[in-house]
Amino acid sequence: MRMTYTQAFKDPEISKALVARIREKSTCPLRLMEVCGTHTMAIFRYGIRSVLPGTITLLSGPGCPVCVTAQKDIDAYVMLARRADMILTTFGDLMKVPGSGSSLAGEKAKGADIRMVYSVFDALAVAKENPDRQVVFCAVGFETTIPTIAGAVLTAKAQGVNNFSIYSANKLTLPALATLMETDGVEIDGFILPGHVSVITGLDAFVPFFEKYRIPSVVTGFEPVDILKAILMLVAQNESKSPGLVNAYSRAVADTGNPKARAIMDQVFEKADAIWRGIGKIPDSGMVLRESFYQFDAAKKFDMPVSDTREPAGCGCGRILMGLKRPDQCRLYKKSCTPMHPVGPCMVSSEGACAAFYKYSR
């Protein structure tokens, strides 16, 4: 019976062969970082860490959008939820992330009208159904979701849905990778680059980064064979001291990405400095609404005086996102910080390194 295209990327025999080749080729210690939170979950779910040789350490990077959302932005969402005229809409991952004094789940329990949605267009529909209420969407994401959010803003403007707005905590991937490479103490020998983001940006977007830092980099998908193939490529590049930028996810990622999606994103948003949890301010790493769309900017619409706030004492989320610490090296892990009572977002998000470590590690 002939194997289908999809089955090939899940086939255990192919995976075993790739593991054997990795073990054969890997002789020097390597620290490889998967940037995407979906890769982190796949690596844990499929037990990939457990089959790799001791020479290879996998690090979870700043590719979980909820995990890198600054404390002040969580506090802003809580403030918005407390408004009497407000319907706050959000993806589920944000609900339990603790702010300085509360969380969205806590505010919902107190009676705030907070609704979980699966798409920003669901939030827009809520606004149309409730013209006498203000509806804000918590815009947290990377290049993968920013074009969709931009499309919703364009639709709201075209249809005159003036009770709809967003509070943007959107971020861009490449500035964070550059910051990692410039940070003292961060040691990375290769990147497993994000597949979903690359569908939008294309491989070409990573060329300036690669040419500057000459670090082995592979874009790949999310099945076991995808991830193991990327690891093998990174091992080979390091062993031969021949760094390259490789697209191992050509079934989804083109060199030029999705120009139409990027055009929509750039029509609505512009770059701005942004605060990343545990990392700090990264220039031109955020995406905020352009002046022509200020009527849909919740931060301006409601004149919110949100100041920077301290992250929870003892939380290692920031250092984990930079590859400086494993989840089980955080002093709060499995003690005061668990999925039922999280201290930081890395234990909350379905793409968080701590949540994955907690669920799948023995």
Percent of the chain at pLDDT > 70 equals 96
**Per-residue pLDDT tens over the stretch 169-187:** 999 999 999 999 999 999 9
Contacts for 254 with CB less than 8 Å, ≥ 6 apart: 202, 203
How confident is residue 303, by pLDDT bands cut at 50, 70 and 90?
confident
Residue 297 has pLDDT above 90, yes or no: yes
| Strand-by-strand arrangement of the 134-139 sheet | 114-116, 86-90, 134-139, 164-168
DSSP strands (E only) in the chain: 30-34, 56-60, 86-90, 114-116, 134-139, 164-168, 170-171, 190-193, 217-219, 245-247, 269-276, 280-289
Longest dimension (CA), the chain: 65
| Cα gap 320→323, rounded to integer Å | 5
Tell me whether the CATH fold assigned to 5-60+174-247 matches the one assigned to 71-172+260-301. yes
Q: What is the pTM assigned to this prediction?
A: 0.92
Classify 71-172+260-301 by CATH class.
alpha beta
Q: Which two tokens stand for residue 178?
A: 């550059």
How confident is residue 277, by pLDDT bands cut at 50, 70 and 90?
confident
Residue 309 has pLDDT above 80, yes or no: no
How buried is 12 (Cβ within 10 angstroms: 0-12 exposed, 13-18 middle, 19+ buried)? exposed
22 Rama class: left (phi>0) / alpha (psi -120 to 50) / beta: alpha
**Per-residue pLDDT tens over the stretch 220-251:** 999 999 999 999 999 999 999 999 999 999 99
Mean pLDDT of 69-98: 94
* Cα-based distances in Å from 89 to 124, 165, 287, 352: 9, 10, 19, 21
Domain boundaries, the chain: 5-60+174-247, 71-172+260-301, 317-360
**Per-residue pLDDT tens over the stretch 187-201:** 999 999 999 999 999
**Per-residue pLDDT tens over the stretch 255-274:** 999 999 999 999 999 999 99
Mean pLDDT of 118-147: 97
**Per-residue pLDDT tens over the stretch 9-18:** 778 899 999 9
169 Rama class: left (phi>0) / alpha (psi -120 to 50) / beta: alpha
Distance of CA 111 to the CA centre of its chain: 30
Please state which of the four CATH numbers 3.90.1150.10, 3.90.180.10, 2.30.42.10, 3.40.50.11750 is assigned to the domain occupying 5-60+174-247.
Answer: 3.40.50.11750
- Please report the pLDDT score of residue 361 as a whole number: 78
How confident is residue 6, by pLDDT bands cut at 50, 70 and 90?
low
Tally Cβ neighbours within 10 Å of residue 204: 14
| Cα gap 267→350, rounded to integer Å | 30
| Strand-by-strand arrangement of the 280-289 sheet | 170-171, 280-289, 269-276
- Please report the pLDDT score of residue 7 as a whole number: 59
Residue 1 has pLDDT above 50, yes or no: no
